Structure 1
Amino acid sequence: MPVVRSNAVDLCYETFGDPADPAALLVMGLGEQMIAWPDGFCALLAARGFHVIRFDNRDVGRSTWLDDLGDVDVRGLFAGDLSSVRYGLRDLAADTAGLLEALGVDRAHLVGVSMGGMVAQLVAIERPDLVASLASIMSTTGDRSVGQATLDDVSVLMPRPDADRAAAIAADVALYRLIGSPGFETSEEVLVSRATAKVDRAYHPAGTARQFAAIVTAADRTPGLRALTTPTVVVHGEDDRLVDVSGGRATAAAVPGSSLVLVPGLGHDLPEGAWDRIVDAIAANAARA
C-alpha cells in the first residue's frame, strides 16, 4: 500500500472509488488500523460519489511506530502522572491535515469514529480550510462530564504486549462482543476474521497505549466546536458502552447547525446492518457543503 510523509511520520493509506469524486477521509479510532473501516463500508461510500481515503494513524498498522519515544505508564496516567505521555491528539490532527496536503486534496469530507472523531473535530477546528464537512461518529467533545464509558473495566481496551497470536485474536473478539452492537448481529466468524486480519497485519500494543494517553490528556474541544461553521453531522449509537451517547449529544449541541442521528441498537462498532444509515447521514451532510 502507498505511504506518504506527513508531520515527520509515514502514513500508510488506501483509496476506493473515482479520484475525480470529492474526497472523503476516514479517520479510525484507538489502536485500530485502517482495515477496521470494512471494505464493504468503504465501497458503499464510494458508490455514493466519494473518493474514499482510509489510512493508518501514527503508531498503528503500517504507519510509523514511535517506539523510540518510550512506553506509556498507564497506571501512572490514571494516578495523574502525565510524564509518560508521548504526544497529543493535536499531533494526530496535524498528521491528518498533512496527509490531505501530501495527497493534493484541497478540501475533504472528514469522517471520524471514536478517537478518529476527536481528531476530525480538531482538524475542523484548526484547519477549517481543509474540511468540506464533518461527520463525528461514536465520539465526544473532551468534556469529562459526558461520553464516559459504562464498562466495569476500561483496561480491556489495552492489548497485552505479551499475548501470542491466538490470545491476541481471542482478546479482540471478546472486546467487540463487549462493546459491539446489541441491536445488530455480527457472527462469530466475522469477528474472528476481522481480529485475525488485524493481528496478522500489525499487532502493536505500545502504540495503542500512546494513543490512549493522547485521548485522556486532551483538552475539552467544546469552545472550538462552538465556533465551527462546517456542515456537521453527529452519529451515535444509543447502546454505546465505550463512549456514552451523552458524548454524541454534547457534540451536536456544541456545533451550530449540526444534525444528530441516534441509532437504536448501535454500540461501538460498524456492523453491516447499520452501514446504510451511517452512509446516508454522511452523504446528506456532505450535500450541505
Structure 2
Amino acid sequence: MSSDEKLLTANGVELCTETFGEPGDPAVLLIHGAAHSMVNWPEALCRRLADGPRFVIRYDGRDTGRSTTSEAGAPAYTLRDLVDDAAGLIDALGLAAVHVVGMSQGAAVGQLLALDHPQRVATLTLASGTPGGPGHHHPDLPAPAPEIQALFEAEPAPVDWSDRAAAVDAIVEGERPYAARTAPFDEAAVRESAALTFDRAADLAAQMTNPFLLDAGEPWRDRLPHISAPTLVLHGTEDPMFPFGHGEALADAIPGARLLPMERTGHEIAPPRVWDEVVAAVLAHTADRTA
C-alpha cells in the first residue's frame, strides 16, 4: 500500500482512501463508477483539482481496490449501502460536508447522498449519470447504443482474473466500447490504468463482478427536484451507455442544475482533452461554498 493511502472505517467496512492537497482547503470527494477503483480517477486530474486549491479525496468503494470485499458473485450490500459508506467516510475524515463528484454508478450514489444526507453535500457534480440511477427503466430516455445492448445480451467470455496479462487485456477491451467514436481510443493510458487496477486489487474477480449485481432499490427519479445542493451535470456528447439525453434529463430534473457537455467524450472518466474545461467548471462550481 502506498504511504499516501489509508484504510478508514466507515459504515462498518474498511475503505482505502488517498488525498491530494491541504486538509484546510474545500474538500472534493470523488466517487467512481461500477468496477472502477480510485485509480480510475487519474492522479494528474486529482492534482489539477488540488491545485485549485482543493482537498481532493479519492477512495476504493466496496469490492474495489484495497477496500472490504465480498465473495465474487455474492455482494453483501446494496447501492444504498454505498451511499451510507460515502456518508460514513465523510465522518471518518472529520469533515462536515464535501463537494461530491460522482461518475456513472458514482453519480447514482451522489444523487442519493444529496437526497438522504443533504447536510453532507455542499455541491454536487454528476458525470455520465442518468436520472434515478442505473438499473431502472426509463422508456422516455434514449436507449444504449446497439453495440452496448449487444454486450449486455451476450454471454460474457470467462476471464481468469488472477492472470495479470489476461485481466489487463480484459479490462482494456471492456473499456473500449464505452469510449467516444470520434476520438482515438487511448489504449496506452487505459492499459496503464488496468495494470494499476490489477496490482492493487484485493479481489479482482469481486471487483469486476459484484458492482453489476447490486440491488439499486426503489427508483428515485421523482425525488430529484428535492435536491438542494447546487448541481453541475457533466455528460459526454458521445456516451453510448447513457446517451446525451440522459444528461439533459438529469439537469432538467434538479432545480438550478447546469449542464456542461463534454465534447468527443463517451461513457468514461473525463479524458485529458477536456480537462481544461472540466477542471475550470468544477473549480468554479465549488468556489465560495462551504465544505
Structure 1 and Structure 2 fold alike (TM over 0.5): yes
Q: 1:215-234 CA deviation, whole Å, 9 max, x = no partner? A: 6x443222221111110010
**Distance in 2 between the 1:287 and 1:191 partners?**
31
State the secondary structure of the residue aligned to 1:193: helix
- Indicate if the aligned counterparts of 2:73 and 2:213 stay in contact, CA closer than 8 A: no
State the secondary structure of the residue aligned to 2:209: helix
- Indicate if the aligned counterparts of 1:226 and 1:255 stay in contact, CA closer than 8 A: yes
**1:21 counterpart residue number:** 25
The CA RMSD measured in Å over matched residues stands at 2.2
- Indicate if the aligned counterparts of 2:237 and 2:264 stay in contact, CA closer than 8 A: yes
- Indicate if the aligned counterparts of 2:29 and 2:101 stay in contact, CA closer than 8 A: yes
Deviation at 1:177, TM superposition (A): 2.1
**Distance in 2 between the 1:184 and 1:47 partners?**
28
The percent of aligned pairs where both chains have the same amino acid is: 35
Gaps of at least 5 residues in structure 1 are 73-84
- Indicate if the aligned counterparts of 1:111 and 1:120 stay in contact, CA closer than 8 A: yes
* Distance change in 2, residues 1:259/1:288 (3 Å): farther
* Distance change in 2, residues 1:141/1:49 (3 Å): same
Q: Does 1:126 align with 2:121?
A: no
Deviation at 1:282, TM superposition (A): 1.4
**1:137 counterpart residue number:** 127
Q: Does 1:36 align with 2:58?
A: no
**1:111 counterpart residue number:** 101
* Distance change in 2, residues 1:124/1:280 (3 Å): same
- Indicate if the aligned counterparts of 2:172 and 2:190 stay in contact, CA closer than 8 A: yes
Q: 1:38-79 CA deviation, whole Å, 9 max, x = no partner? A: 001001111112100000001111000022xx724xxxxxxx
TM-score by length of 1: 0.88
**Distance in 2 between the 1:238 and 1:119 partners?**
22
Q: 1:223-262 CA deviation, whole Å, 9 max, x = no partner? A: 2211111100100001011222222112111100000111
Q: 1:90-130 CA deviation, whole Å, 9 max, x = no partner? A: 10000000000011011100000000111011111100101
Q: 1:130-162 CA deviation, whole Å, 9 max, x = no partner? A: 110000000112352236432121378978553
**2:144 counterpart residue number:** 149
Report the number of matched residues.
274
Deviation at 1:189, TM superposition (A): 2.1
TM-score by length of 2: 0.87
Q: Does 1:66 align with 2:67?
A: no
- Indicate if the aligned counterparts of 2:159 and 2:166 stay in contact, CA closer than 8 A: no
Which amino acid letter does the alignment assign opposite residue 251 of structure 1? L
**Distance in 2 between the 1:241 and 1:60 partners?**
24
Which amino acid letter does the alignment assign opposite residue 71 of structure 1? G
* Distance change in 2, residues 1:184/1:141 (3 Å): same
Gaps of at least 5 residues in structure 2 are none
- Indicate if the aligned counterparts of 2:99 and 2:123 stay in contact, CA closer than 8 A: yes
State the secondary structure of the residue aligned to 2:28: strand
**Distance in 2 between the 1:165 and 1:266 partners?**
28
Structure 1 window deviating more from structure 2 (177-186 vs 50-59): it is 177-186
**2:224 counterpart residue number:** 225
**1:11 counterpart residue number:** 15
Which amino acid letter does the alignment assign opposite residue 191 of structure 1? V
- Indicate if the aligned counterparts of 1:184 and 1:274 stay in contact, CA closer than 8 A: no
- Indicate if the aligned counterparts of 2:98 and 2:122 stay in contact, CA closer than 8 A: yes
Equivalent of 1:102 in 92, 103, 114: 92
- Indicate if the aligned counterparts of 1:138 and 1:268 stay in contact, CA closer than 8 A: yes
**Distance in 1 between the 2:65 and 2:142 partners?**
27
Q: 1:148-198 CA deviation, whole Å, 9 max, x = no partner? A: 432121378978553422111111111222211334445332222111111
Structure 1 window deviating more from structure 2 (116-125 vs 277-286): it is 277-286
Deviation at 1:207, TM superposition (A): 3.7
**Distance in 1 between the 2:33 and 2:18 partners?**
17
